[in-house]
């Protein structure tokens, strides 16, 4: 484990291209991580950059790091398996000893069980290690704002949020979008998931950012939160529509379907619709949602995508304009 794998803000794990091509999915998707003998599971995102040069685990990889108290120098043995369409990675953790953390020399060995019919192998390391179980608490990470930015900008080191999964991801909008804050990490491995995304045509004031960041941290969603300032087209014109910008649309299905909105214990059935073959809007019951919740110009809505529901579902958190 290196610093970029276990850092407090946005850790990620890069998988070598050769190994990923042989043993991991060939598209951006979610995997299941598990520990031997442990019931808890994690669902990090396996991300492939569009140019096929970067393969990485991120998203709930940070939860795995925190819950298992991973530190620099620890060793993780990843054993990927596929059952039908489900990919699972079993992770064996070998802990670096305290003597190694103090810079002392030492050697250690760990016997690794047979893999796919192979015999046991004595693995000797220059780092003394010990296998430890882990159960930990989740510690929320700090967040940063990312606008619904350009998906065609030059990559300066880390991967962009583009996906190669063309069947499941929504096509990019033709709107001229710019990123408010770069997602690229200083480490060449790449960025973490952005905690929240703001449409390109919007910007948050300092007071709005402070309140939104606190709310996003409290929500702790594995998918970025979509932050929308209510405008005339969304709440006052005859045909009220809410557009999901191109960057956030990559997290939504690329087809029209029903979407259920939840807010304050109530629910509304809405429609996710495509316009011009590639722009994604919320329609149908959206006007009713606006009316029932008394939305006004300047109010802010935080859209939290719930990936654990069988139906496409979003929890909507409303921040009244008076709070700013």
Asked whether residue 155 carries a pLDDT value surpassing 60, the answer given is: no
Percent of the chain at pLDDT above 70? 68
Give CB contacts under 8 A, 24+ apart, made by 312-315.
312/252, 312/253, 312/257, 312/258, 312/259, 312/260, 312/272, 313/259, 313/260, 313/261, 313/262, 314/259, 314/260, 314/261, 314/262, 315/261, 315/262, 315/263
pLDDT of residue 283: 85
Do 99 and 151 have their domain in common? no
Greater pLDDT, 224 or 129: 224
User: Do 43 and 32 touch, CB atoms closer than 8 A?
Assistant: yes
Do 108 and 70 have their domain in common? yes
Greater pLDDT, 134 or 294: 294
Do 126 and 175 have their domain in common? no
Do 167 and 310 have their domain in common? yes
Do 107 and 68 have their domain in common? yes
| CA dist., res. 139 & res. 220, Å (int) | 10
Q: Determine the average pLDDT of the residues in 21-35.
A: 90
Per the structure, the count of domains in the chain is 2
| CA dist., res. 255 & res. 49, Å (int) | 23
In this structure, is residue 161 part of a structural domain? yes
Do 123 and 230 have their domain in common? no
Asked whether residue 125 carries a pLDDT value surpassing 70, the answer given is: no
Element (H, E) at 94: strand 86-96
Among 103, 131, 159, give the residue marking a domain's end.
131
Do 10 and 126 have their domain in common? yes
Do 49 and 73 have their domain in common? yes
The whole-model pTM stands at 0.45
CATH number at residue 101: 2.40.330.10
In this structure, is residue 136 part of a structural domain? no
Asked whether residue 262 carries a pLDDT value surpassing 60, the answer given is: yes
User: Do 172 and 151 touch, CB atoms closer than 8 A?
Assistant: yes
Domain region containing 115: 3-131
Do 95 and 118 have their domain in common? yes
pLDDT of residue 193: 63
pLDDT of residue 308: 67
Element (H, E) at 234: helix 232-235
In this structure, is residue 123 part of a structural domain? yes
Among 101, 131, 161, give the residue marking a domain's end.
131
In this structure, is residue 137 part of a structural domain? no
In this structure, is residue 220 part of a structural domain? yes
Do 182 and 294 have their domain in common? yes
pLDDT of residue 55: 92
Asked whether residue 160 carries a pLDDT value surpassing 90, the answer given is: no
In this structure, is residue 138 part of a structural domain? no
Do 41 and 93 have their domain in common? yes
Do 170 and 94 have their domain in common? no
pLDDT-derived band at 307, boundaries 50, 70, 90: confident
Among 85, 109, 131, give the residue marking a domain's end.
131
Asked whether residue 79 carries a pLDDT value surpassing 70, the answer given is: yes
pLDDT of residue 100: 44
Range in 25-39, 97-111, 126-140 the model is least confident about: 126-140
Percent of the chain at pLDDT above 90? 34
Mean pLDDT, rounded, of the chain: 74
Beta-strand relationship, 266-275 and 257-263: antiparallel
Most confident of 90-104, 125-139, 292-306: 292-306
In this structure, is residue 140 part of a structural domain? no
pLDDT of residue 84: 79
- For the stretch 181-226, pLDDT in tens is 333 333 334 445 678 999 887 889 999 999 999 999 888 787 899 9
In this structure, is residue 186 part of a structural domain? yes
């Amino acid at each position: 484990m290196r610093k970029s794998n276990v850092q407090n803000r946005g850790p990620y794990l890069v998988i070598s291209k050769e190994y990923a091509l042989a043993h991991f999915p060939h598209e951006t998707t979610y995997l299941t991580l598990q520990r031997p003998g442990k019931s808890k599971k994690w669902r990090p995102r396996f991300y492939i950059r569009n140019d096929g040069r970067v393969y990485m685990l991120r998203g709930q990889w940070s939860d795995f790091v925190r819950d298992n108290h991973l530190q620099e120098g620890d060793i993780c043995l990843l054993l990927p398996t596929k059952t039908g369409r489900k990919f699972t990675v079993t992770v064996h953790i070998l802990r670096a000893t305290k003597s190694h953390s103090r810079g002392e020399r030492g050697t250690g060995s760990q016997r690794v069980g047979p893999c796919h019919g192979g015999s046991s192998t004595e693995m000797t390391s220059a780092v003394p290690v010990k296998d430890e179980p882990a159960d930990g608490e989740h510690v929320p990470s700090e967040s940063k704002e990312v606008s619904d930015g350009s998906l065609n900008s030059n990559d300066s080191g880390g991967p962009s949020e583009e996906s190669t999964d063309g069947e499941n991801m929504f096509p990019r909008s033709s709107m001229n979008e710019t990123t408010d804050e770069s997602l690229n990490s200083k480490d060449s491995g790449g960025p973490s998931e952005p905690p929240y995304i703001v449409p390109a045509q919007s910007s948050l004031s300092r007071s709005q950012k402070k309140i939104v960041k606190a709310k996003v941290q409290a929500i702790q969603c594995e998918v970025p939160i979509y932050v929308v300032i209510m405008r005339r087209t969304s709440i006052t014109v005859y045909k009220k529509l809410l557009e999901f910008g191109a960057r956030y649309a990559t997290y939504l299905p690329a087809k029209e379907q029903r979407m259920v909105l939840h807010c304050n214990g109530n629910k509304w059935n809405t429609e996710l619709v495509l316009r011009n073959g590639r722009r994604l809007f919320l329609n149908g019951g959206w006007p009713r949602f606006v009316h029932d919740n008394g939305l006004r110009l300047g109010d802010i809505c935080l859209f939290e995508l719930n990936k654990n529901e069988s139906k496409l579902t979003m929890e909507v958190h409303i921040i009244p304009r008076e709070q700013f």
